[in-house]
Amino acid sequence: MEHPISMWVREAIDRVRAIDMHTHLFPPSCWAWSVSFQQAVRSV
């Protein structure tokens, strides 16, 4: 079972990423960081 916090974090990141597809607020390196962060949270 996935931790509720990591589920919330992934939902939030998905939402921001969807917005970013239109606005390009964040550089690709920011998304690379978020992916590694999600993997770290998931492995906890």
pLDDT for res 9: 85
pLDDT for res 2: 64
pLDDT for res 1: 63
* The one-letter amino acid at 24: H
- Give start and end residues of each alpha helix (H) in 1-44: 4-23, 28-43
User: What is the pTM (predicted TM-score) of this model?
Assistant: 0.47
**CB burial string 7-22: b at 16+ within 10 A, e below:** eebbeebeebeeeeee
pLDDT for res 28: 74
CA-wise closest residue to 31 among 6, 10, 8, 3: 10
pLDDT digits (tens, 9 = 90+) for 1-35: 667 888 898 898 888 888 877 777 777 777 777 78
Answer for the pair 34, 9: CB distance below 8 angstroms, yes or no: no
Please report, for the chain, the start and end positions of each structural domain, with discontinuous segments joined by +: 1-20+32-44
